[in-house]
Amino acid sequence: MHQPALPHLQSQDPEIAGLVEAEARRQFEKIRLIASENYVSPAVLEATGSVLTNKYSEGYAGRRYYEGQQNVDPIELLAIERAKALFGVEHANVQPYSGSPANLAVYLAFLQPGDTVMGLSLPMGGHLTHGWSVSATGRWFNPVRYEVRAEDGRVDMDQVRDLALKERPKLIWCGGTAVPRTIDFPAFAEIAREAGAVLAADVAHIAGLIAGGAHPSPAGHADVITTTTHKTLRGPRGAMILSTQEHAKAIDKAVFPGLQGGPHDHTTAAIAVALDEASRPGFAAYAHQVVANAKALAAALLERGYDLVSGGTDNHLVLIDLTGKGVPGKPAAQALDRAGIELNYNAVPFDPRKPFDPSGLRLGTAAITTRGLTEDRMPRIAAWIDEVVQAVAAEDEAAVARVAGEVRELLAGYPMPGWATAP
Ligand SMILES: *Cc1c(COP(=O)(O)O)cnc(C)c1O
């Protein structure tokens, strides 16, 4: 059952309580490989569910527009100090509601409508907010896009440089949502300097790996760093913008009053808790285990004849190109979900198929590593993925059901924060 228990919710609104309980069970029984997801600690969950949700505190500590900030100010200041210490930066804004608004605040801080912005193309692994056409960032600004190389699936830094010097963007984004390889922050910084652009590193996916020393840090290279707090960093749904002191004022003004109203104080408290957790030695071990698991999973998939974008991974994320298997991404992802393995279909670079039914699968190891799974379990997971992909081709639903049973059996031995097996 859900932990902590939900007695008030159960008696007052059994319909919602039943769905929350069902979700807790689903999270317990599935191998959760969605690369952007994780399991937060009970402490983070408690802070998120606290009475701080009742408070309004527009402004910043010591400069609020509402009274009664005796407890909220120290909470936000703690979150800021912990973020600065953990990531080695001079300034942190912990108020953005989520990753997308954080990125929008960067535009507001540095650009005028119509200015040129450069980012990794969405189908190549970039994020919507890096100037993709359907996003406000692609409609209100002038986007130019760099890509990955067809040969090796890696960002083409020569193209980045040529494009930056030709187009002279005011803002360059590095980072993305489906980038399985290490981001070369020093190389991006040099190009941005040459082109006279602001460099923003969006480390939403890899923030926890950076905090744990399992990925190089953009601190000291990027002018601005944005990140969500809920992916590998294992905090609540939220975001942060980190920067040098030079940009502090512009960023704070952009977040509030530029873009947002009152910060979500319960989220701020939970971010502070998660940042403290991420500063402990156990978290560095976690971050390195996430990468070790992803590498082991990638190796086991390669052994089974799967094509991986870039041929493997340096981080938590693996991108499978199913083209050679003759099974599209969407039916494969749907069958895997029925088999108790949750991931998402995803475009691969130069994908000939449509975005809503692309050729790839994206998976990540942040959540299963929190459950305590280690490298030795990854060949088994790769074998299950393979069985299900073959079952899709053979329309063998019995095989899918068999895998689901085996998955539940395995996970019964791995506790989940937020779930208690009934006595
Ligand atoms: C997840 C993500 C975001 C957006 O975060 P939301 O909280 O979903 O708005 C932004 N950038 C990157 C690279 C991401 O992976």
Q: How remote is the CA of residue 224 from the centroid of ligand 1, in Å?
A: 15
CATH topology match: 47-278 vs 289-411? no
Nearest CA, atom 13, ligand 1: 176
Q: Is residue 137 within 6 Å of ligand 1 at its C-beta?
A: no
Q: How remote is the CA of residue 359 from the centroid of ligand 1, in Å?
A: 22
Q: Distance between CA atoms of 5 and 377, rounded to whole angstroms?
A: 31
Ligand 1 atom with minimal separation from the 238 CA: 7
Summarised one tens digit per residue, pLDDT across range 225-273 is 999 999 999 999 999 999 999 999 999 999 999 999 999 999 999 999 9
Nearest CA, atom 15, ligand 1: 177
Active site residue 170: no
Among candidates 310, 306, 298, which has minimal Cα distance to 149? 310
Annotation: binding site for (6S)-5,6,7,8-tetrahydrofolate: 122, 126-128
Q: Domain 47-278 falls in which CATH fold?
A: Aspartate Aminotransferase; domain 2 (3.40.640)
b (16+ CB within 10 A) / e for 277-293:
bbeeeebbebbebbbbb
Nearest CA, atom 8, ligand 1: 99
pLDDT recorded at residue 356? 87
Q: How remote is the CA of residue 368 from the centroid of ligand 1, in Å?
A: 20
Active site residue 23: no
Active site residue 56: yes
Cβ atoms of 255 and 241 within 8 Å: the answer is: yes
Terminal Cα distance for the chain, rounded: 10
pLDDT recorded at residue 129? 98
Catalytic residue (one of 30, 55, 145, 231): 231
Catalytic residue (one of 58, 276, 386, 396): 58
Summarised one tens digit per residue, pLDDT across range 372-415 is 999 999 999 999 999 999 999 999 999 999 999 999 999 999 99
Nearest CA, atom 6, ligand 1: 99
Active site residue 237: yes
Q: What does pTM read for this prediction?
A: 0.97
Q: Distance between CA atoms of 248 and 281, rounded to whole angstroms?
A: 29
- Sites in the chain below the pLDDT cut of 50: none
The ranges assigned to domains in the chain are 47-278, 289-411
Q: Domain 289-411 falls in which CATH fold?
A: Aspartate Aminotransferase, domain 1 (3.90.1150)
Q: Is residue 175 within 6 Å of ligand 1 at its C-beta?
A: yes
pLDDT recorded at residue 423? 63
Q: Is residue 127 within 6 Å of ligand 1 at its C-beta?
A: yes
Q: How remote is the CA of residue 100 from the centroid of ligand 1, in Å?
A: 6
Q: How remote is the CA of residue 125 from the centroid of ligand 1, in Å?
A: 12
Active site residue 268: no
pLDDT recorded at residue 422? 73
Q: Distance between CA atoms of 56 and 59, rounded to whole angstroms?
A: 10
> Facing residues of 148 across strands?
155
